[in-house]
Amino acid sequence: MVFPPVDTANAEGLLAVGGDLSSDRLLAAYQKGIFPWFNTDSLILWWSPDPRMVLYPDQIKISKSMRKVLRNEQFRLTKNTSFQKVLEHCSSVKREGQDGTWITEDMKNAYIELHKRGVATSYEVWEGSNLVGGLYGVDLGYIFCGESMFSLTSNASKFAFIKLAEELQEKGCKLIDCQLYTEHLASLGAHEISRKEFIKYLK
């Protein structure tokens, strides 16, 4: 399956249907600004929406209440220590307007393979010895493609996202791809840009 040009996606951002979820295909998709999103009982759907929700790492918004959370050492952050656990927790999070999980078993296996290749990354948030939040995504170096996050206690996913942004800023990463608009991401400083502008960051 060769992906068509992203500017041929329909008004909702749907670009292609079908193919497989091999790690090579998944990586090729991200490198072109394309991501999979579908229900367990449907064909694989590949998306490249316009506009695109993004966050510039140096524009992360940290509220006064979150600054207190960051200072009080309630949470502890690790990276790539519990990738599969983060994936499992994220698979139980429903996306708005969608029934059931969108992280299928085939998709999990593909991300696990990307993790073994050093491309898919997880950030884990711990409260004591308990995993209470985290996120995972695909790290292309110049862009971090955020896939999903979860929180079992208040502010845990925000903590992970803020720490991600801070680390990426230090590394010189240009952009966090958040894919689609949510109020939660907007409250953290993410905003929409055109697909044309987004694609420039992939070159």
Residue 49 contacts residue 179 (beta carbons within 8 Å): yes
In which band, very low, low, confident or very high, does the pLDDT at 94 lie, cut at 50, 70 and 90? Answer: low
pLDDT for 98-156, tens place per residue? 444 568 888 999 999 999 999 999 999 999 999 999 999 999 999 999 999 999 999 99
Domain 50-200 has CATH 3.40.250.10: no
Is residue 97 over pLDDT 80? Answer: no
**DSSP classification of residue 6:** G
Of 104 and 17, the structure prediction assigns the larger pLDDT to 17
Confidence (pLDDT) at 100 = 45
Q: Does residue 135 contact residue 80 with C-beta atoms inside 8 Å?
A: no
Mean pLDDT confidence for 179-189: 96
How far apart (Å, rounded) are the C-alpha atoms in residues 1 and 171?
A: 34
pTM of the model: 0.93
Q: Which residues pair with 130 in a beta bridge?
A: 127
Q: Strand locations in the chain, DSSP E?
A: 14-17, 35-36, 45-47, 52-55, 76-79, 120-127, 130-139, 143-151, 175-179, 191-193
Closest CA to 178 of 149, 138, 147: 147
Give the pair of three-digit tokens for residue 168.
Answer: 């990426």
